[in-house]
Amino acid sequence: MDDRERIRLKMRRLRRQLDHYSSEWSAQACRWLDWKFQVSQHPLLSVGIAAAAGYLLIPGKKAPVRVELDEATRKEIVKQLQIQQFKEPISQSPAVPTLWQTGVTIASQLLLRSAINYGVSQIDRLMNAERTVTETESPETMHSVYHEIDPHSSLEHDNDIHLYQRT
């Protein structure tokens, strides 16, 4: 191989290495400019930078403006405010209930709820009692006759024997 061929071969190798390195460097530069990558790699530093940026972006309080008025101007302003105050209709703010009214309201709601619950339980009891009577009665028991004998009287009187029949 002569010197020219060796130089050309070295140049090709250098170009390939430059292509490889340039693509690698551009990928690394993109990674370094990606804010998601930076936050994942440096979370505490990211939070600190965000806090500092927020502190710098929020404007500070402005100093209050102090106006010096003479006595005549101050009296005139107060007079105008009083006149304006009486011209405007007085708005009716809703009345705040007293402690007694609040207690009475709570007690009445509790009583109402208790009465409703008692009524519902009584209706439920009646419906369950009716349901159990109809469920326990069979065709044999519906036509059976029950005899009840009074133990204080003799068996001679028909009035002492009571016949009950369920219908």
Q: What pLDDT is stored for residue 30 in this prediction?
A: 85
Q: What pLDDT is stored for residue 131 in this prediction?
A: 73
- Cα 136 to Cα 132: distance, rounded to the nearest angstrom: 6
Q: What is the DSSP letter of 74?
A: H
Q: What pLDDT is stored for residue 159 in this prediction?
A: 47
How far CA 62 is from CA of 57, 59, 67, in Å, comes to 15, 9, 15
pLDDT, mean of residues 3-14: 90
Task: Please give the model's pTM, rounded to 2 decimal places.
Answer: 0.28
Per-residue pLDDT tens for 103-143? 999 999 999 999 999 999 998 888 888 777 666 655 555 44
Model confidence at 160, in pLDDT bands (50, 70, 90)? very low
Beta pairing partners, 161: 149
Domain residue limits, the chain = 1-39, 102-165
Q: Which residue has the higher pLDDT, 51 or 137?
A: 51
